[in-house]
Amino acid sequence: MSGPGVFRAAVWVVQRDLRLATRRPAQVLQPLAFFAVVTLLFPLGYTPELAKLRAIAPGVLWVAALLASMLALESLFREDADDGTLEQFVVSGQPLTILLLAKTATHWLLTGLPLTLMAPLVGGALGVPFAALGGILSSLVLGTISLSLIGAVGAGLTLASRRGGVLLSLLTLPLAVPVLIFGARATELAIAGDSLTAPLYLLGAVAVLGLTLAPLAAAAAVRIGLE
């Protein structure tokens, strides 16, 4: 690692991505709008009864979060790959893992975090009690971090392929399933008012595992994908 150079480079990557995002707000907002729309389809299409909605809320929230994250992943590397920026990252001499981690972190700030913050509204529409929100928000923070990290690996792998979209989801979903399961379980427990330490620990474990391994795998994938 080249000491202060790495940190400055990472900060630069974050700032650049944030700046680009402000120029194209639609791209950032679309996954969030999708999240809202999908969850709101359930009161409309299934039942308006809050008790019944509350019962399916854990699954609905997490599936919608997963799908919205998938949508957002498309743009993680694709544009930078197209305009040559990603290649510059590779040859820059800075550790690619750190640069990609910086990109993924920004991606989370623009997707996972807003999604988490939307949860109280969306949850309320599904009959989720106010007391459950603390637990649900914690689980979503950890879960969306993992989803961004896992998604980065998939996004890197599909850079080389002709058709990105569906394949990206197909690759990312199997690895994202544990997050879905633990997250939904945590939400379920939070709604019931029980302690959700167990699934929260598991979500934390997945996030840590993802934080250590995913950038490495993503860097390997990006190098292969850019040739």
List of residues contacting other proteins (CB under 8 A): 153, 156-158, 160-163, 167, 170-171, 173-175, 177-178, 181, 209, 213, 217, 220-221, 224-225, 227
Cβ distance to other proteins smaller for residue 98 or 179: 179
What is the closest distance, in whole angstroms, from the C-beta atom of residue 122 to other proteins in the complex?
24
Q: Taking a C-beta distance cutoff of 8 angstroms, is the pair 164, 89 a contact? A: no
Q: b vs e for 79-106, b when ≥16 Cβ sit within 10 Å of the residue's Cβ?
A: ebbeeeebeebbeeebbbbbbbbbbbbb
Residue (137 or 181) nearer to other proteins, CB? 181
Please, what is the minimum distance in Å from the beta carbon of residue 171 to other proteins?
A: 4
Question: Distances in Å between the alpha carbon of 99 and those of 31, 44, 66, 86?
Answer: 24, 43, 24, 10
> Which residue has 């490495």 as its token pair?
216
The rounded distance, in Å, linking the Cα atoms of 146 and 207 is 5
Closest approach, Cβ 188 to other proteins, in A, equals: 13
- 59 secondary structure, DSSP code: H
- Residues with Cβ within 8 Å of residue 155, at least 6 apart in sequence: 73, 74, 76, 77, 78, 168, 218
Q: Which is nearer to other proteins, 95 or 156 (CB)?
A: 156
Q: Which is nearer to other proteins, 43 or 178 (by Cβ)?
A: 178
User: How many Å separate Cα 207 from the centre of its chain?
Assistant: 11
CB 162 to other proteins: min, Å: 6
Nearer to other proteins, 47 or 212 (CB): 212
CB of 179 to other proteins, least distance (A): 12
Nearest approach in angstroms of CB 111 to other proteins is: 21
Q: 222 φ, ψ to 5°?
A: -65, -40
Please state, in angstroms and as integers, the Cα–Cα distance from residue 154 to each residue in 113, 129, 180, following that order.
20, 35, 17
For other proteins, give the closer residue by CB, 41 or 224. 224
Alpha carbon distances (Å) from 151 to 104, 146, 179? 9, 8, 12
